[in-house]
Amino acid sequence: MRDVFGVSAQWLDEGRSFALATLVELRDAATAPVGTTIAVDAGGHVVGNIGAGCYEAEIVEACLKTAADGQPRRLDINLGEEDELLGGTACGAVLELVTWRPEPGFSDEARAIASGERTSRVRVAYEHADGSPAAFEHVFAQKDRLILVGATSIAAQLALLACHLDFSVVVVDPRSAYATEERLSGVSEIVRAWPDEALPPMLSERTPVVVLSHDPKFDLPALRCALLSDAPYIGLLGSRRSQAARRAALAEQGFDDTALARIHGPAGLDLGGVTVAETALSILAEIVAARRGGQGGPLLARVGAIHR
């Protein structure tokens, strides 16, 4: 959905005529989260998806009218009804949407929503069916950071996948030959510093960290910083042998079994994958499970030793 607002900022800058449709209420089955928004320009170009199936055309038509006259429109769509002409979707959801045309000054807020660099808000004023005034406000939280220690090929794959999960990805690696924009194109920020220098001010209860370097001079200071923080997830890539060595070294430094149990290693759920991209997917799956309280088994040791 952030992409929709990024495009909206661009369209506003271009002076293009367009309108947005925002899902302000949802009952029964969830086709999309409340706040989901699409953009439709005067030429009928659509960005985003509400999940209304065959009723999407009705939403687009309302957007075209709002783009032309600037008047907000409220739509009630019942996806539980069968329609003899359109066929219906019969998924059971009841959607309430509002179309609206943003003011030119909205472009800065739209860009902030797209970037996720700060908490942003969208407020849409409209009328209920009985004519009474109503308003919907959607808060876009600042993106959580995902910190990766080690500018490896798995870091690059993790960055590409994590952007779809609303993470801002930071790679920490002091090696300038490895920590480059060319190798890490999907990364939001590259910090060319040693982990014990860079990590302490970055880590919080909203900042998962994955250690990917396969090198004790990077792994150990990164794990120390993570264990001394409130990081919600600490992942360590590597074979079971290297896992045991890292834990033994940390135990010698005073970390007890309770602290060491916070380390997920080898990082990732057991999805049976073997490629770099599949390993990245398994690590993100474990982060999501930790984030949402889900369940999952540990990744097999054979995957933990995959190439950098």
pLDDT score for 81? 56
Query: Average pLDDT per run of 10 along the chain, which is 308 residues long?
Result: 93 96 82 89 93 82 96 86 48 82 93 91 86 90 94 94 92 94 90 96 96 95 97 95 96 96 94 92 95 62 31
Residue 80 confidence (pLDDT): 66
Q: Where are the domains of the chain?
A: 2-140, 144-304
- Residue 54 is predicted with a pLDDT of 73
Residues 6 or more apart whose Cβ sits within 8 Å of residue 280: 154, 157, 158, 160, 161
Provide the whole-model pTM: 0.78
- Looking at residue 125, the DSSP 8-state letter turns out to be E
CATH code: domain 144-304 is 3.40.50.720
138-143 long-range contacts, CB within 8 A, separation 24+: 138/22, 138/34, 138/35, 140/2, 140/113, 140/116, 142/116, 142/117, 142/118, 143/116, 143/117, 143/167, 143/168
Burial label, 186 (beta-carbon count in 10 A; 0-12, 13-18, 19+): middle
So what's the pLDDT on residue 199? 97
| Omega before residue 266 within 30° of 0, cis | yes
